Amino acid sequence: MSTKTRGSWVQSANEELCDFPIENLPFGSFFKRHEINPSPCIGVAIGNQVLNLTALAMAQLQSSPLITPQIEELLNLFKGQHLNAYMARSSKDHQLFRFFLIQCLSVNSPLQSQLNPHLIAQDEVTMLRPCSIQDYSDFYASIHHATTVGAMFRPDQPLMPNYKWIPIGYHGRASSIVPSGTPIRRPSGQTKGSGNQAPFVQPSRRLDYELEMGVFIGAGNAMGQAIAMADSKEHFFGLCLLNDWSARDIQGWEYQPLGPFLAKNFASTISPWIVTREALEPFAREFTRVESDPQPLDYLSDATTLAQGAYDIRLQTWLETQQMREQQLGPVKLMESNFHEAMYWSLFQLITHHASNGCNLNPGDLLGTGTMSGPQKDQAGSLLELSEGGKTPLQLPNGETRTFLENGDTIILKAFCERDGYPRIGFGQCSGTITA
């Protein structure tokens, strides 16, 4: 596989397995460490560095043919504390600013000397949520996950009749979305007693992770105005990794008849960088569905959009236990799947369906895809599936076993886009450690 990159004067961006080559340039927000009263800044990842766009916007850049009035206008959007103002702009503006950044960071850039002071090592910053997230909805878009989990509760009917006709989702809790590295406190909740025993409250004993992707909305839509499939790409800003932590014992008791509530809203972890639609385009592919299945209704169908409606993204889940750290062992990979194989509904269908009743999406809104499980058992995106509901413990290389997460366990999600002739695009890590 060729990993040839355009080449950047930031040398770490040219390394073969770098997550953030110049072809990526994901956006994020951060604090500079060791600074008294730090303010949030907006930046892009390049190699092992962050280009501080907020500081760059505040600086008086010397005149250059690269800095047009339109670029100046877009650069000024980063003077605020949130990325949302930039996300709200058109895809044409995003493409223009991306080309500007590539020119700035390429070998022999005329602006290298002016940008160099605004680079910060990634290990010298604390990453925040990448934008202001006011609303969060979570979907159930992997038919493999839905079928496996459904069979645990309804062996005679794993999928409900609506699943193949409508993207299933629910409104989540934006306030408890946290960036990678944030410790996750084991939740307590009401759990069903056995037999005629009354329910009781205790710390969750069946704490789980869910490997998902997070879809960030760019430009919004007015309340009452639907988004057509043909226009859905204009509202898609980019992707992140998402771990929708789940307390399965709490969930099993509370979810009927209205769906997830306290079993889900105690924490959701996201990777801190948004990989943009423009960076993902070389890895786009046709989104297809099994011909024997019902085909989407007209409002969820657009041949042009679906012709490039899926993305080749390798997804991985890794586990590091407390004992592994004490024994100085590395984390173990639990599974690997592919985004396009896991999705029964395209992310563009999710956007379109969410707004089809006139729901107003806003810049920075986050849509979870639901657990991304592949067609094979070892491609399951949760411990619930891998352990068959806790009946089959996972055997770890150091002799430990797991059915669900224990205190001290760290879950690490990773994702990569790969294609012959293109450098690898990474998402960074999405990690969280369970505390008592």
Active-site amino acid positions: 145
Instruction: Give the Cα separation of 103 and 303 in Å (integer).
Output: 34
Contact 239, 212 (CB under 8 A): no
Amino acid at 332: V
Helix or strand or coil: residue 266? coil
Q: Which residues contact 255 (CB under 8 A, 6 or more apart)?
A: 261, 263
Contact 88, 363 (CB under 8 A): yes
Phi and psi at 323, nearest 5°, equal -65, -40
**Run of H or E residues at 302:** none
Instruction: Give the Cα separation of 334 and 338 in Å (integer).
Output: 14
Phi and psi at 211, nearest 5°, equal -80, 110
Judging by DSSP bridges, how do beta strands 236-243 and 200-203 pair with one another?
A: unpaired
Buried b (16+ CB within 10 A) or exposed e, 134-170: ebbbbbbbbbbbbebbbeeeeeeebeeeebbebbbbb
Contact 282, 423 (CB under 8 A): no
Take residue 126 and report the two structure tokens written for it.
């604390």
Instruction: Give the Cα separation of 373 and 350 in Å (integer).
Output: 17
Judging by DSSP bridges, how do beta strands 136-139 and 366-368 pair with one another?
A: parallel
Calculate the dihedral angle through the C-alpha atoms of 398, 401, 405, 407, rounding to the nearest 10 degrees: -60
223: exposed, middle or buried (C-beta count within 10 Å: 0-12, 13-18, 19+)?
Answer: exposed
Contact 409, 222 (CB under 8 A): no
The residue behind tokens 């669900």 is 404
